[in-house]
């Protein structure tokens, strides 16, 4: 059975109704520390309704004489209930917090360890991918950042350390550290080799190549025409 220790934190909250029949201390972490040590030297688990002084209680139990071996658990009643705007009516919430804290730890679940190996790919339209890719490259200089642009709705700058790609029908399989990405490249221009000089657009005899700036300008013109009509 768990032994619960409750403190009013120098009478700044009223947890009396949270655990009927339980003594409410006023300064458990100070001049009433002996009550905690006495409980912690028993064999029953001890639940302390205070997380502010968790390190102090743990240290006191570790260095007590005789040693305190009781399992210790902590729950925050003060900030989550007693000091809230509805602290005067928070008894039910306090009881619920205590009840949850007394539940046994859940059974362990299988875990999987992933290793990124320093590779990151960001997929999406340019307006969202470009700023994220730039921040990732600046913050993590050793990270291999690839940006797969699915829609050219913003300028695509030349950013050292970022591999710029383009395409759609994107398929991603695998998991962090071991993934494969497939896409269909519609643009004949390799963004990784493109210097954004627009010379190809000027040299194309059929006008089949448009710069991103020209496309955006044409979109604005069409929108303006639609608004007029």
Same domain, 27 and 89: yes
Residues 88 and 14 in one domain: yes
Is residue 111 situated within a structural domain?
no
Query: Is residue 158 in a domain?
Result: yes
Residues 75 and 49 in one domain: yes
Look at the block and give the residue holding tokens 């896409």: 183
Structural domain containing residue 219: 197-229
**Total domains in the fold of the chain:** 3
Return the pLDDT at 143.
Answer: 84
pLDDT in tens, 65-124: 888 889 999 999 999 998 988 878 888 999 999 999 988 888 888 887 777 778 889 999
Query: How far out from the chain centre does Cα 158 lie?
Result: 30
Q: What are phi and psi of 43, to 5 degrees?
A: -100, -15
SS (H, E, C) 135-182: HHHHHCCCCEEEEEECCCCCCCCCCCCEEEEECEEEEEEEECCEEEEE
Same domain, 87 and 132: no
Distance of CA 129 to the CA centre of its chain: 19
90 with 169, same domain? no
Inter-axis angle of helices 33-40 and 54-62, nearest 10: 60
Residues 97, 78: one domain?
yes
DSSP structural state of residue 131? H
Place of tokens 């695998």: 174
For residue 226, the model assigns a pLDDT of 43
207 membership: H or E segment, kind and range: none
Whether 177 and 205 map to the same domain: the answer is: no
Mean pLDDT by 10 residues, the chain (229 residues): 91 87 92 94 91 94 89 92 86 92 86 79 92 90 87 81 87 82 77 67 66 44 43
Q: Dihedral, CA atoms, 202, 204, 208, 210, nearest 10 degrees?
A: -20
Handedness of CA 128, 134, 135, 141 (dihedral sign): positive
112 part of a folded domain: no
Whole-prediction pTM: 0.48
């Amino acid at each position: 059975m768990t032994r619960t220790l409750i403190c009013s934190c120098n009478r700044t909250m009223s947890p009396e109704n949270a655990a009927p029949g339980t003594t409410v201390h006023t300064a458990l972490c100070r001049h009433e520390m002996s009550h905690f040590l006495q409980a912690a030297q028993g064999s029953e688990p001890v639940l302390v309704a205070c997380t502010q002084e968790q390190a102090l209680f743990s240290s006191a139990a570790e260095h007590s004489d005789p040693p305190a071996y009781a399992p210790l658990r902590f729950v925050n009643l003060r900030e989550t209930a007693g000091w809230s705007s509805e602290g005067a009516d928070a008894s039910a919430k306090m009881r619920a917090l205590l009840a949850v804290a007394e539940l046994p730890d859940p059974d362990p679940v299988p875990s999987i360890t992933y290793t990124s190996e320093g590779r990151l790919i960001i997929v999406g339209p340019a307006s969202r991918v470009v700023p994220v890719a730039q921040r990732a490259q600046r913050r993590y200089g050793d990270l291999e950042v690839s940006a797969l642009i699915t829609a050219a709705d913003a300028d695509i700058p030349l950013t050292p350390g970022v591999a710029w790609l383009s395409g759609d029908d994107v398929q991603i399989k695998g998991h962090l550290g071991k993934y494969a990405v497939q896409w269909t490249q519609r643009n004949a221009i390799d963004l990784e080799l493109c210097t954004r000089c627009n010379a190809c657009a000027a040299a194309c005899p059929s006008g089949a190549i448009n710069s991103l700036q020209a496309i955006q300008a044409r979109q604005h013109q069409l929108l303006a025409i639609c608004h007029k009509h």
